[in-house]
């Protein structure tokens, strides 16, 4: 199969392929392939050492392959994929990613899309997320899905994840605080959980005044800082990954939101006021 000269974007145009070795930006297909291989390896219950034995390589080579830090050789990828139990369409997906070449734009059509995104997010040292539609839960931020988890029942204790090595900043447009999605009680509970997590260091939340918003790109976009560089994701039912020049609008939107956002204390106060208002509306 010959390598394509470009990859179709979700907006109906094709991005030109770059030449590996001449471009310093990370290649999205390589990152997605590595995340896909890690997802299937863990799903198959295999350690990096066991996977390395399949292709006669070390466990560290498997880890570097999954992080897109070494070139992916076709025979190694296909041998690993088969060892992980991939057959039919799933095997074709892995092979197709090999044929994309060095690309800066790719729709998340591969594997369970949000599982692949979760692998990339787990590898990120910094996450920056902008939402203009609804308040994502900690599960949504960590697991890579925009669908909010069921809100905690009012009055019950919410389990609190420990702050990890990552620096997570959640930029929330203030209009989100006026939308009681799922009802006033559920919205108030979700806000209280957000406040609790922010107060205990799981993330930093900053509120962005809507009158200072830039042109919206999507309801939820993310910036993932990986060892290879920055990757920008338009999250939704089908994630779209960008690096390099195609990522410029995402980077601009996130930078503008961060510049316009309230400071940490003012943001927490806005969250508390919104939670209180929803609670009063529920009681009325």
Same domain, 65 and 177: no
Quick check: 281 pLDDT over 70? yes
CA distance readout (Å), 190 to 34, 173, 187 = 34, 16, 5
Quick check: 207 pLDDT over 50? yes
The whole-angstrom separation of Cα 142 and Cα 235 is 12
Same domain, 130 and 245: yes
The whole-chain average pLDDT of the chain stands at 82
The whole-angstrom separation of Cα 42 and Cα 46 is 6
The domain in which residue 36 lies consists of: 24-103
**b/e sequence 190-227, b meaning 16+ C-beta within 10 Å:** bbbbbbebbeeebbbbbbbeeeebbeebbbbbbbbbbe
| Least confident range of 87-101, 207-221, 236-250 | 207-221
Same domain, 96 and 154: no
pTM, two decimal places: 0.80
The whole-angstrom separation of Cα 42 and Cα 45 is 5
Same domain, 47 and 154: no
263 CB neighbour count, 10 Å cutoff: 10
| Least confident range of 34-48, 152-166, 213-227 | 152-166
Find how far residue 152's CA is from the centre of its chain.
23
Can you tell me the mean pLDDT for 31-52? 94
Same domain, 141 and 232: yes
Is 216:132 a contact under the CB 8 Å cutoff? yes
pLDDT tens across 137-187, in order?
A: 655 665 443 333 333 334 433 333 343 457 899 999 999 898 888 889 999
Same domain, 166 and 276: yes
Structural domain count, the chain: 2
Helices (H), the chain: 28-43, 48-55, 59-66, 74-83, 88-98, 113-123, 138-143, 184-199, 248-260, 264-283
The whole-angstrom separation of Cα 262 and Cα 207 is 6
Same domain, 124 and 99: no
């Amino acid at each position: 199969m010959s390598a394509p000269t470009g990859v179709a974007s979700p907006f109906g145009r094709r991005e030109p392929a770059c030449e590996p070795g001449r471009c310093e930006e990370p290649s999205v297909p390589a990152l997605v392939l590595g995340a896909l291989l890690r997802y299937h390896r863990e799903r198959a219950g295999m350690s990096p050492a066991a996977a390395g034995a399949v292709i006669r390589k070390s466990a560290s080579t498997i880890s570097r392959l999954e992080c897109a830090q070494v070139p992916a050789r076709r025979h190694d990828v296909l041998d690993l994929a088969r060892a992980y139990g991939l057959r039919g369409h799933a095997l074709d997906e892995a092979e197709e990613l090999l044929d994309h070449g060095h690309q800066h734009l790719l729709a998340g059509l591969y594997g369970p899309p949000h599982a692949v995104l979760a692998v990339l997010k787990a590898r990120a040292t910094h996450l920056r997320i902008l939402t203009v539609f609804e308040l994502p839960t900690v599960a949504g931020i960590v697991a890579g899905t925009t669908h909010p988890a069921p809100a905690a029942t009012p009055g019950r204790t919410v389990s609190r994840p420990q702050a990890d090595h990552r620096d997570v900043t959640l930029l929330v447009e203030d209009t989100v605080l006026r939308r009681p999605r799922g009802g006033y009680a559920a919205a108030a509970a979700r806000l209280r959980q957000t406040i609790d997590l922010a107060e205990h260091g799981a993330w930093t939340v900053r509120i962005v005044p809507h009158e200072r918003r830039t042109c919206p790109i999507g309801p939820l976009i993310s910036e993932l800082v990986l060892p290879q560089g920055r990757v920008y994701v338009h999250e939704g039912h089908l994630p779209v990954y960008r690096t390099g020049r195609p990522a410029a609008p995402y980077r601009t939107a996130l930078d503008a939101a961060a510049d316009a956002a309230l400071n940490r204390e003012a943001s927490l106060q806005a969250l508390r006021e919104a939670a209180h208002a929803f609670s009063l509306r529920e009681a009325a």
